[in-house]
Amino acid sequence: MRREIIIGLVLMLLLSSINIISGNVSAEIKKEDMTWSIGDKWEYRSTTIATTTTILKMTLEVTGEDVVEIDGVNYSVFVAELTGELETVEIALPNTTLAQGSTISGTSYVAKENDETTKTVQNLKYQLINETSGKFFNFTQTIVIITNATSGGKPDVIDVGTNWISTIKTITTMTTTYSGSFFDDYMHMPGYTNTTTTTDTKTGTFNYNCTGKNTTTTAAGTFETYEIEQSNKDGGQGYTLQYLSSTVKGDVKDITYDHEGGTVISLLELISYDVATASSPTPKTPGFELAIVLCSIAIILLWKRKRMN
């Protein structure tokens, strides 16, 4: 009889130990794991391939919290400052280089309850210089982008197979100034300067689908990520693959493809990060199970001592 009791206690010990250990395992991304904190910082390299190829390195740092009006509604937001520099601007002009002091800066306001609602002010400026002729080209641009999730939204928990739909309204105001002596040759307009301002409002409905888990490697390291495919429900505007990690509380890599042939038109990769520890799943309180483990050990030791005596 004593033997059966001891075997039972040992089994209880093993099962309780396994239960305690497995109580902290989580296999999905939770909203609280992705919540920003003041001081969180990410450094990215962005490559855009359009009529010209532009490569820039930028840093995004959470500097505070505020209440900001976005598309007529006040939201509690995180404030993030954007700074960076252009590394490459490729155009079809020989012996042309990017001048020092070509920068990007700005501020983003991200709604705490729904990070698809944002307001971003972005300033971009650069100068190209032809090493042979000494002619130059100046480019400055200020873009204000407002996005507002009018319906749907990211769920609180994302796992493989999770999908959702969001309707996003986007208002883009862009002020662009071109100037420089390049225009003397190409447009026959000496001392040419032109400033334009445009505003464009679009509403689109987007499908999001968590298609799998991946191991994603960038200059910042190797991460276990969830792949999110974003596509326009109306079609015709390409699609984006987004690789999310709760370790960095954000994107590790984004790849955007055009609709025809899957050609890459933009790439965003994480270079480095420094974030506060993401909130982990609440540890399972050992409580009664731990008491059983301790009592089991005590009984087994007591029985052994009696046998030795």
The helix-helix angle for 2-22 and 287-308 (nearest 10°) equals: 150
| Residues 15 and 157 reside in one and the same domain | no
Q: What confidence score (pLDDT) does residue 200 get? A: 95
Least confident of 76-85, 157-166, 285-294: 285-294
pLDDT per position as a tens digit, 47-98: 998 777 889 999 999 999 999 999 999 999 999 999 999 998 877 667 888 8
Q: What is the domain extent for residue 1?
A: 1-19+289-309
pLDDT per position as a tens digit, 215-231: 999 999 999 999 999 98
Identify whether 38 is part of a domain.
yes
In which band, very low, low, confident or very high, does the pLDDT at 111 lie, cut at 50, 70 and 90?
very high
Asked if 139 and 125 count as a contact pair (C-beta separation under 8 A), the reply is: yes
Q: What confidence score (pLDDT) does residue 91 get? A: 72
Domain CATH number, residue 225: 2.40.360
| Residues 138 and 204 reside in one and the same domain | yes
Q: What confidence score (pLDDT) does residue 137 get? A: 84
Handedness of CA 111, 243, 255, 167 (dihedral sign): negative
| Residues 264 and 309 reside in one and the same domain | no
In which band, very low, low, confident or very high, does the pLDDT at 278 lie, cut at 50, 70 and 90?
low
| Residues 235 and 303 reside in one and the same domain | no
Percentage of the chain surpassing pLDDT 90?
A: 51
| Residues 298 and 192 reside in one and the same domain | no
Count of domains forming the chain:
2
Higher pLDDT, 185 or 115: 115
In which band, very low, low, confident or very high, does the pLDDT at 185 lie, cut at 50, 70 and 90?
low
Q: Is the pLDDT of residue 24 over 80?
A: no
What amino acid occupies position 139? F
- Integer Rg of the chain from CA: 28
State how far the Cα of 271 lies from the Cα of 262, in Å rounded to an integer.
Answer: 25
